[in-house]
């Protein structure tokens, strides 16, 4: 099996298309399990959760995986920066919801749904001028 066959790789590719449509610059990185100290950096991290959502006696099971999309942004007393941070997650969640309604999913076998489990929130203030924000994303699929 190659890395390109994994769900996290396919989800990352899908999210990069969303980021391309939402961000005014293409100078960002979408890492996996790594968020650098630089502003405009993103990371997709797998969250340890119970994968079985519903198990049937015969046949497939409905499974889920939860990921966290984290970003480091400017943060401080500038109201416009802070509104921009929250606004990004508003539009990100709306884009995920719109794609879910259109059944426009990542190229993951058996995928049934993709959704944001929460709105983007402030996770950690690392310095006087930057902070980490995150949103949890869940994919539901048949296996």
Q: What is the pLDDT of residues 37-62, one digit of tens each?
A: 888 899 999 999 887 766 666 778 88
Rounded Cα distance, 117 and 13, in Å: 20
Mean pLDDT of 108-112: 95
Question: What is the pTM for the complete model shown?
Answer: 0.89
Between 79 and 53, whose confidence is greater?
Answer: 79
Assign 15 a pLDDT band (cuts: 50, 70, 90). very high
Q: What is the pLDDT of residue 56?
A: 67
Per-residue pLDDT at 112: 95
Q: Any idea what DSSP says for residue 11?
A: H
**Averaged pLDDT score across all residues of the chain:** 90
Closest CA to 126 of 10, 35, 63, 44: 35
**What pLDDT shows up at residue 103?**
96
Question: What number is the average pLDDT over the span 104-118?
Answer: 96
Alpha-carbon span 46 to 139, nearest angstrom: 11
Cβ-Cβ contacts under 8 Å for 16 (sequence gap 6 or more): 30
Fold designation for 3-142:
STM4215-like (3.30.2000)
Both tokens assigned to 3: 């890395």
Asked if 81 and 99 count as a contact pair (C-beta separation under 8 A), the reply is: no
- Give the residue extent of every domain in the chain: 3-142
């Amino acid at each position: 099996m190659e890395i390109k066959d994994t769900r996290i790789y396919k989800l990352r590719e899908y999210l990069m298309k969303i980021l391309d449509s939402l961000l005014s610059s293409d100078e960002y990185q979408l890492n996996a399990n790594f968020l650098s100290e630089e502003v405009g950096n993103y990371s997709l991290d797998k969250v340890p959760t119970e994968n079985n959502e519903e198990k049937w006696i015969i046949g497939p099971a409905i499974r889920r995986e939860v990921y966290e999309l984290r970003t480091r942004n400017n943060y401080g007393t500038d109201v416009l920066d802070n509104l921009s941070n929250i606004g990004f997650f508003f539009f990100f969640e709306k884009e995920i919801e719109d794609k879910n309604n259109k059944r426009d999913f990542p190229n993951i076998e058996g995928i049934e749904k993709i959704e944001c489990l929460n709105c983007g929130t402030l996770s950690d203030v690392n310095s006087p001028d930057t902070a980490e924000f995150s949103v949890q994303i869940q994919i539901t699929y048949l296996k």
